[in-house]
């Protein structure tokens, strides 16, 4: 009887996540001169602690993931045309995974309140090439 109880305990431990909260998987892709992508496995999640598991699926291109809180889902994002980058000073950044080399993984954990968020790559030209995705956080 003791052996089966221990086996059950191990099985329950292995099936339970090691951390609380939500997990959003983020895959970044694209090479210079072509379309860039930033995709989320969930576009809507519940508020609370969220861990973003980020993977750079590119072959040769570095990427990053910046998490910003928007004032509304319709908020426009300021692009500095001469630099081909977002003006992060005008946005509320909640953190980032920076300098993610091709094929590598990174993670960011943040506590999110209900509202609209934007995930983006702010390496020169990447946002303009399509590397951004919106996230809705509900109660």
Instruction: Quote the pLDDT of residue 20.
Output: 58
Instruction: Calculate the CA dihedral of residues 104, 14, 112, 110 and round it to 10 degrees.
Output: -40
CA triplet 50, 59, 135: central angle to 5 degrees?
A: 25
pLDDT along the chain (139 residues), means of 10: 41 44 95 92 97 97 97 93 92 94 98 97 95 97
The sign of the dihedral angle between the CA atoms of 67, 130, 133, 88 is positive
Instruction: Quote the pLDDT of residue 33.
Output: 84
Number of Cβ within 10 Å of residue 83's Cβ equals: 11
Question: Model-level pTM?
Answer: 0.83
3-state secondary structure the chain: CHHHHHHHHHHHHHHCCCCCCEEEEEEEECCCCCCCEEEECCCEEECEEEEEEEEECCCCCCEEEEEEECCCCCCCCCEECCCCEECHHHCEEEEEEEEECCCCEEEEEEEECCEEEEEECCCCCCCCCCCEEEEEEEC
């Amino acid at each position: 009887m003791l052996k089966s109880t221990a086996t059950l305990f191990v099985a329950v431990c292995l099936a339970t996540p090691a951390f609380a909260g939500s997990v959003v998987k983020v895959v970044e892709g694209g090479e210079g001169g072509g379309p860039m992508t930033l995709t989320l496995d969930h576009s809507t999640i519940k508020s609370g602690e969220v861990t973003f598991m980020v993977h750079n699926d590119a072959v040769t291109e570095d990427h990053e993931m910046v998490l910003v809180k928007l004032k509304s889902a319709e908020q426009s994002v300021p692009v500095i045309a001469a630099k081909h980058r977002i003006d992060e000073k005008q946005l509320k950044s909640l953190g980032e995974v920076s300098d993610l080399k091709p094929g590598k993984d990174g993670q960011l954990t943040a506590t999110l309140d209900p509202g609209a968020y934007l995930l983006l790559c702010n390496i020169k030209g990447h946002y303009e090439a399509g590397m951004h995705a919106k996230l809705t956080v509900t109660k």
